[in-house]
Chain A
Amino acid sequence: MAREKIGALLLLLFSLAYGLLATRIPLSFIAQDETFTARTMPYGLAAAGLIISLLILVLPTGDPDGKKTLKEVTLGMDWRKAIFLVGAMVAYGLIMKWLGFLIASVLFLIAGFYILGERRIKGMLLASIPLVIVLWYIMSKLLGVYIAPGEIFYQLGIL
Chain B
Amino acid sequence: MWDGMINGMLTGITTTLIPLNIAMVLFGCFMGSLIGMLPGLGPITAVALMIPVTYGLDPTTGMVLLAGVYYGAIFGGSTASILINAPGEAATVATALDGYPLARQGYPGKALAVAAYSSFSGGTISVIFLMVFAPMLASISTSFQSADYFALMILGLTAVSAFSGRGSVLKALMMVVLGLMLATVGTDQTSGVQRFTFGSLELLDGIEFLLLAMATFALTEALSIVLTRDESSDSFKPKAIGFKSLAVSKKEFKLIAPTIARSSLLGFFIGVLPGAGATLGSFMAYGMERNLAPPEEQKKFGKGSLRGLAAPETGNNAASSGSFVPLLCLGIPGSGTTAVMLGALIAYGIDPGPRMFTDSPEVFWGVIMSMYLGNIFLLILNLPLIPYFARLLAIPKNFMVPMILFFSLMGVYLVTFNDFDILMMVLFCVAAMALRLMNFPMAPLLLGFILGGLMEDNLRRALMIYNDSISFMWERPLTLGINITTIFILFFPIVRSFMRSKKEDGKKEVAV
Judge if A45 is at the interface, Cβ distance under 8 Å: yes
A15 surroundings in chain B (CB, below 8 A): 177, 181
Contact status A37-B405, CB under 8 Å: no
Partner of B223, one of A37, A86, A109: A86
Number of chain B residues whose Cβ lies closer than 8 Å to a Cβ of chain A: 62
Given A89-B409, A93-B422, A143-B56, decide whether A112 and B459 contact each other with a Cβ distance below 8 A: no
Flag if B226 contacts A81 (CB, 8 Å).
Answer: yes
Known A52-B174, A53-B174: A28·B191 in contact at CB below 8 Å = yes
Per-residue CB proximity of B405-431 to A under 8 Å, as 1/0?
110011001100101101101100110
A90-B174 CB under 8 A given contacts A7-B438, A77-B228: no
- Output the least CB separation between A23 and chain B (Å): 12
Answer yes or no: B439 CB below 8 A from chain A CBs: yes
B426 touches A93 (CB 8 A): yes
Name the contact of B402 in the complex, choosing from A11, A70, A73, A112 (C-beta under 8 A): A112
**SS class, residues of chain A in contact with chain B:** helix
Chain B residue nearest to A6 in the complex (CB):
B438
Q: Using an 8 Å CB-CB cutoff, how does the interface string of B321-361 with A read, 1 for contact, 0 for none?
A: 00000000000000000000000000000000000000000
Partner of A96, one of B165, B180, B413, B438: B413
Whether the Cβ atoms of B426 and A42 lie closer than 8 Å is: no
Contact of B191 among A6, A31, A73, A90 (CB under 8 A): A31
For B408, give the chain A residue with the smallest CB separation: A89
What are the interface flags for A117-129 relative to B under an 8 Å C-beta threshold, 1 for contact and 0 otherwise? 1100001000100
**A-contacting residues, B151-184, CB 8 Å:** 165-168, 170-171, 173-174, 177-178, 180-181, 184
Name the CB-closest residue of A to B438. Answer: A7
Q: Is the Cβ of B178 less than 8 Å from the Cβ of A11?
A: yes
- The answer to whether A62 touches B178, judged by C-beta atoms less than 8 angstroms apart, is no
**Residues of A90-106 whose CB lies within 8 A of B:** 90, 92-94, 96-97, 101, 105
Please tell me the number of chain A residues within 8 Å of chain B, measured between CB atoms: 77
- Beta-carbon nearest neighbor of B401 in chain A: A116
Complex CA distance for A75 and B406, rounded to whole angstroms: 28
Q: How many Å lie between the Cα of A143 and that of B165 in the bound state?
A: 45
CB of A13 within 8 A of chain B?
A: no
Chain B residues lying within 8 Å of A66, measured Cβ to Cβ, are 167-168, 171, 439
The CA of A62 and the CA of B500, in the complex, are separated in Å by 13
Q: When the two chains form their complex, are residues B193 and A27 in contact, meaning their CB atoms are under 8 A apart?
A: yes
Q: Is B227 an interface residue (CB 8 A)?
A: yes
B194 in the interface (beta carbon within 8 A): yes
Which of B229, B402, B434, B497 contacts A109, CB < 8 Å?
A: B402
In the complex, which residues of chain A have a beta carbon less than 8 angstroms from the beta carbon of B180? 41, 45
- Are the C-beta atoms of B173 and A118 separated by less than 8 Å? no
Contact yes or no, A35 B463, CB < 8 A: yes
Q: Judging by beta carbons under 8 Å apart, are A86 and B430 in contact?
A: yes
Chain A residues contacting B430 (CB-CB under 8 Å) are 86
Q: Is the CB of A26 within 8 A of B193?
A: yes
Q: Out of B405, B420, B438, which one reaches A89, CB within 8 Å?
A: B405
- What CA separation (Å) do A3 and B398 show in the bound complex? 30
CA distance A37 to B173 in the complex (A): 24
Q: CA–CA, A81 to B171, complex, Å? A: 29
On whether the beta carbons of B195 and A64 are closer than 8 Å, the reply is: no
Residues of A within 8 A of B190 (CB): 38
Partner of B177, one of A52, A61, A123: A52
B439 close to A108 (CB less than 8 A): no
Does residue B440 face the partner (Cβ distance < 8 Å to A)?
A: yes
Closest chain A residue to B469, Cβ basis: A35
Which residues of chain A (18-38) have a CB below 8 Å from chain B?
Answer: 18, 21-22, 25-28, 31, 35-38
Inter-chain contact A64/B167, CB cutoff 8 Å: yes
Return chain A residues, CB-CB under 8 Å to B401. Answer: 85, 112, 116
Instruction: Specify which chain A residues have a CB less than 8 angstroms from the CB of B184 in the assembled complex.
Output: 41-42, 45
CB distance from B150 to the nearest CB of A (A): 11
A4 touches B439 (CB 8 A): yes
Q: How far is the CA of A28 from the CA of B168 in the complex (A)?
A: 41
- A152 interface hit (Cβ, 8 Å): no
Residue of B195, B410, B438, B497 near A25 (CB, 8 A) is B195
Contacts of B440 in A (CB 8 A): 4, 7, 11
Given A41-B456, A52-B174, A55-B170: A90 in contact with B426 (beta carbons within 8 A) = yes
Bound-state CA distance A38–B189 (Å) is 9
In the complex the two chains form, is A36's CB within 8 Å of B459's CB?
yes
* Docked-complex contact B423 and A42, CB < 8 angstroms: no
Contacts of A97 in B (CB 8 A): 419
Cα of A46 to Cα of B180 in the assembled complex, Å = 10
Q: Would you call A52 and B170 a contact (CB within 8 A)? A: yes
Smallest CB–CB gap between A72 and chain B, Å? 11
A103 to chain B, nearest CB (A): 14
B437 interface residue (CB < 8 Å to A): yes
Contact B168 A70 (CB under 8 A): no
Of B56, B397, B437, which is in contact with the most chain A CB atoms at under 10 Å from its CB? Answer: B437
A37 neighbours in B (Cβ, 8 Å) = 191
Contact (Cβ within 8 A) A105 B410: yes
Interface residue from A85, A108, A145 paired with B226 (Cβ < 8 Å): A85
Task: Determine the chain B residues whose CB is within 8 A of the CB of A3 once the complex forms.
Answer: 437-439
Given contacts A7-B438, A74-B437, A118-B398, contact A90 B423 (CB under 8 A): yes
Q: Which residues on the A side are within 8 Å of B229 (C-beta)?
A: 76-78
Indicate whether A36 sits within 8 Å of B463 (C-beta atoms), given known contacts A78-B229, A105-B406: yes
With A49-B177, A86-B223, A90-B426 known as contacts, the answer to whether A38 contacts B167 (CB < 8 A) is no
Q: In whole angstroms, what is the CA distance A90 to B190 when docked? A: 35
> Which 10 pairs show the lowest CB-CB distances between chains A and B?
A112-B402, A62-B167, A63-B167, A7-B438, A93-B422, A35-B468, A38-B188, A116-B398, A118-B398, A38-B193
Instruction: Name 10 interchain pairs, CB-CB below 8 A, sorted by A.
Output: A7-B434, A11-B440, A18-B196, A38-B193, A48-B177, A61-B167, A86-B429, A116-B226, A118-B398, A131-B406
Known: A45-B180, A109-B406, A145-B414. 14 other contacts (CB 8 A): A38-B188, A38-B193, A55-B170, A56-B170, A62-B167, A70-B438, A74-B437, A85-B402, A89-B422, A105-B410, A113-B402, A116-B226, A116-B401, A131-B406
